[in-house]
């Protein structure tokens, strides 16, 4: 659930556009190449040691985010003593923490002992568009770290570490821990704010008139699509708890008169009457049979001329590039049989649910799979219970 405070910075204007895809791909390729060169300048033991201390980095950045250090420093500079007084922490422990962050390039440590913000600490301020602070807090949260601490058992069983440690799915856990759920929702909002302009630009939404965002959260993506494509009307479909904050978001962005909010579960039904159905980063939360079940529910709501748009982080099995492989392992730890999938794997799911893949629209951080319902589906199968 996303509160009104989390909607800070959302307006009737479109989100800022990202650079063109070829620029993003080029910059990411260059960064990876330079990092590989840098790693070759030192003994491999040093590189491995730095990777092995990644948990320390996660917890250090998490502490900075939780204590709102970037907010407290603002545009000036502060000593650890003054920050400790404001945060209720030990001055020496905080200084050592921030010094360690400064060695990683997060915050500057000045010769007089004061700390100031820099390019890497600025995104930790509250209200930044991509909600980086919320993402950092999620990865450093006790629940996520506890799940990762049981990673060895996940390697043996293949089952979700989170479910094993807490005895319930991450979604059930969030229902009982609304603060963590809100934090995660804010983090997801930031990811959507990053991707939404490129989704709006990359796909020809001029061919769609009424779009249903299935599992669309508080409506961040749908609101952006409605702003950028004035002919569109929309349906936001998610569980009632999530939709509570959606009305204020659509009103704040000036598109409330063009959207209908419908509560429900995509495991049971999906609203009919739309010519476009959008699922963004839904399937990667679930195992294959559950994905087919979700897609079949969508298929039943669609007409022969409707289209299904899947936005997923396509991750090819033998391509160790981008954030996909790391995201895939996070899904393995946190979600029950969740995973990032290759284009071929997603195509198999679509076919099992009665769709054919019409076209793939690729972007640097995601792909849009445009699929159409097969007219003769239903005669022989697509049973999610027997899908492998």
**Could you list the active site residues?**
284
Q: What is the CA radius of gyration of the chain?
A: 22
Nearest to 299 by CA among 354, 256, 341, 344: 354
**Residue corresponding to tokens 């796909």:** 203
Neighbours of 373 (CB within 10 A): 23
CA distance 284 to 56: 28
Nearest to 220 by CA among 184, 246, 254, 187: 246
Residue 220 phi, psi dihedral angles, 5° rounding: -60, -50
């Amino acid at each position: 659930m996303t509160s009104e405070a989390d909607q800070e910075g959302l307006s009737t204007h479109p989100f800022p556009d990202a650079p063109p895809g070829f620029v993003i791909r080029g910059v990411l390729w260059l960064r990876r190449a330079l990092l590989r060169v840098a790693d070759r300048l030192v003994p491999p033991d040093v590189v491995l040691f730095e990777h092995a201390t990644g948990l320390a980095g996660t917890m250090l950045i998490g502490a900075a985010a939780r204590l709102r250090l970037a907010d407290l420093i603002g545009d000036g500079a502060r000593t650890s003593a003054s920050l400790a007084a404001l945060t209720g922490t030990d001055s020496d422990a905080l200084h050592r923490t921030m010094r360690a962050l400064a060695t990683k390039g997060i915050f500057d440590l000045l010769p007089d002992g004061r700390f100031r913000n820099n390019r890497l600490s600025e995104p930790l301020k509250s209200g930044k568009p991509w909600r980086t602070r919320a993402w950092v807090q999620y990865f450093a949260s006790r629940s996520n770290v506890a799940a990762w601490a049981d990673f060895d058992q996940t390697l043996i069983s293949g089952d979700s570490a989170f479910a094993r440690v807490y005895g319930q799915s991450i979604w059930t856990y969030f229902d009982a821990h609304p603060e963590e759920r809100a934090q995660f929702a804010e983090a997801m909002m930031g990811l959507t704010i990053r991707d939404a302009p490129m989704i709006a630009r990359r796909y020809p939404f001029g061919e769609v008139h009424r779009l249903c965002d299935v599992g669309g959260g508080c409506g961040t993506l749908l609101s952006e699509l409605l702003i950028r494509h004035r002919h569109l009307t929309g349906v936001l479909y998610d569980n009632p708890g999530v939709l509570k904050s959606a009305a204020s978001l659509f009103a704040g962005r000036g598109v409330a008169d063009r959207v209908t909010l419908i509560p429900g579960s995509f495991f049971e039904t999906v609203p009919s009457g739309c010519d476009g159905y959008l699922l963004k980063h839904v399937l990667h939360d679930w195992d294959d049979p559950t994905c087919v079940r979700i897609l079949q529910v969508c298929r039943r709501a669609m007409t022969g001329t409707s289209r299904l748009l899947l936005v997923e982080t396509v991750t090819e099995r033998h391509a160790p590039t981008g954030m996909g492989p790391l995201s895939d392992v996070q899904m393995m730890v946190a979600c029950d049989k969740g995973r990032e999938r290759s284009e071929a794997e997603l195509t198999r799911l679509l076919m099992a649910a009665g769709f054919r893949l019409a076209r793939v629209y690729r972007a640097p951080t995601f792909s849009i799979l445009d699929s159409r319902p097969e007219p003769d589906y239903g005669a022989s199968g697509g049973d999610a219970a027997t899908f492998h």
